[in-house]
């Protein structure tokens, strides 16, 4: 028997006018002649994004959703080189404190981040690497500001293959030693759908002590010939043994056979159930992030579909036991 908790990413299809990713482009920022007014605009938008995060958390609690991915675009232009020295955390203290208070009142909620694709840890370019570090520091500060232990809250892909995946993996290991320990502890690695397979990602996770976030759809789209994920599932589970958090993974369904890598609007419940039947009992709990275009609608529909399956025992609006 395994407890499964479902979550979704960043945006609700049901809570209106609640984007946590409102932005100000650099061009818009530069058009404002008054620098102080421009900075106030950035801070106002960032505060609105965080307020909308709180609205989403309340929506989730009302529907028993205890797992949620925050948008990584909460603070517009946070790492822009022309805004170096901007202490964006100071004007956000009040709203962060409100989120922190809410999360303290709802300790079962699990929060994490998945930074954008430009956060590439195995880059050879020193300027890019410094931007990566700034981005990771921002995520760390936001987590701390919300009262969340940053350990194992930030999912990344390995990075680019750069024409030689073996050397790219070596570059990742080299760069890892340049990352401050507090940021290392925040990181999780995910197998991707075009470059680094489950086994290649496991190599890094086992070598460096990083938990692996298994993306089932990515594995189906990209794996070594003849290699099945089942053979490596125990290795995936083992990467989480040192974590305070339950194992987490990602689930999505292909949009079509032709567009196999693209995410569908909803989740194929039958395919998902096949997966669950193979892993049930291997872990006591697994938190599963839904990556579907219809966000929380996809979660609600998946729960309705799963409740029709034998062996599924719902315990809330977004969690169940699979026996």
Least Cα distance to 218 among 193, 197, 183 occurs for 193
Percent of the chain with pLDDT over 90: 97
* pTM, to two decimals: 0.95
Stated as kind and residue range, the H or E segment containing 242 is: none
Least Cα distance to 172 among 155, 196, 154, 194 occurs for 196
pLDDT, tens only, 256-302? 999 999 999 999 999 999 999 999 999 999 999 999 999 999 999 99
Question: 3-state secondary structure string, 107-124?
Answer: CCCEEEECCCCCCCCCCC
Rounded Cα distance, 42 and 82, in Å: 13
Percent of the chain with pLDDT over 70: 100
197: left (phi over 0), alpha (psi -120 to 50) or beta: beta
| CATH code assigned at 185 | 3.20.20.150
Least Cα distance to 112 among 252, 230, 10 occurs for 10
Segment 219-233 mean pLDDT: 95
Q: State how many domains the chain has.
A: 1
State the pLDDT confidence band at 117, using cuts at 50, 70 and 90.
confident
Query: Looking at the predicted structure, is the pLDDT value of residue 307 above 90?
Result: yes
pLDDT, tens only, 239-260? 999 999 999 999 999 999 999 9
Query: Looking at the predicted structure, is the pLDDT value of residue 316 above 90?
Result: yes
State the residue for tokens 């981040």.
113
pLDDT, tens only, 44-73? 999 999 999 999 999 999 999 999 999 999
Would strands 154-157 and 187-190 be described as parallel, antiparallel, or unpaired?
parallel
Q: Is 323 helix (H, G, I), strand (E, B) or coil?
A: coil
The pLDDT value recorded for residue 75 is 97
Q: Is 232 helix (H, G, I), strand (E, B) or coil?
A: helix
Q: List the beta strands (DSSP E) in the chain.
A: 2-9, 67-70, 110-113, 154-157, 187-190, 212-215, 247-251, 285-290, 312-314, 319-322
The pLDDT value recorded for residue 58 is 98
Report the mean per-residue pLDDT for the chain: 97
Q: Higher model confidence: residue 85 or residue 109?
A: 109
Angle between helix axes 35-62 and 93-105 (nearest 10 degrees) is 10
Q: List the beta strands (DSSP E) in 198-278.
A: 212-215, 247-251
pLDDT, tens only, 5-41? 999 999 999 999 999 999 999 999 999 989 999 999 9
Please give the backbone phi and psi of residue 212, each rounded to the nearest 5 degrees, phi first: -105, 130
Query: Looking at the predicted structure, is the pLDDT value of residue 118 above 90?
Result: no
Domain extent, residue 10, equals: 2-322
Rounded Cα distance, 113 and 206, in Å: 22
The pLDDT value recorded for residue 87 is 94
């Amino acid at each position: 028997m395994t407890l499964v908790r479902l979550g979704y990413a960043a945006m609700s299809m049901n809570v209106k006018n609640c984007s946590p990713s409102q932005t100000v482009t650099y061009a818009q920022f530069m058009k404002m002649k008054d620098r102080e007014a421009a900075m106030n605009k950035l801070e106002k938008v960032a505060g609105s994004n965080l307020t909308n995060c709180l609205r989403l958390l309340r929506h989730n609690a009302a529907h028993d959703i205890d797992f949620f991915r925050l948008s990584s675009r909460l603070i517009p232009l946070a790492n822009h080189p022309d805004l170096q020295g901007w202490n964006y955390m100071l004007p956000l203290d009040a709203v962060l404190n409100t989120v922190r208070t809410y999360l303290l009142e709802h300790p079962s909620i699990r929060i994490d981040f998945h930074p954008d694709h430009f956060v590439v840890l195995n880059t050879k370019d020193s300027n890019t690497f410094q931007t990566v570090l700034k981005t990771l520091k921002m995520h760390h500060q936001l987590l701390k500001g919300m009262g969340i232990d940053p350990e194992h809250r930030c999912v990344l892909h390995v990075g680019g293959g750069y024409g030689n995946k073996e050397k790219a993996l070596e570059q990742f290991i080299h760069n890892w030693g340049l990352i401050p320990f507090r940021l290392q502890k925040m990181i999780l690695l995910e197998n991707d759908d075009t470059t680094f397979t489950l086994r290649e990602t496991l190599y890094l996770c086992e070598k460096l002590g990083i938990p692996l976030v298994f993306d089932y759809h990515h594995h189906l789209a990209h794996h070594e010939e003849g290699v099945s994920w089942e053979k490596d599932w125990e290795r995936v589970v083992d990467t989480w043994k040192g974590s305070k958090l339950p194992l987490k993974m990602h689930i999505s369904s292909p949009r079509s056979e032709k567009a196999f890598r693209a995410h569908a609007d909803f989740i194929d419940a039958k395919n998902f159930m096949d997966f669950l039947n193979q892993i049930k009992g291997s872990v006591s709990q697994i938190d599963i992030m839904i990556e579907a275009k219809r966000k929380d609608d996809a979660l609600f529909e998946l729960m309705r579909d799963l409740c029709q399956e034998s062996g599924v025992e719902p315990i809330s609006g977004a969690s169940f036991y699979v026996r």
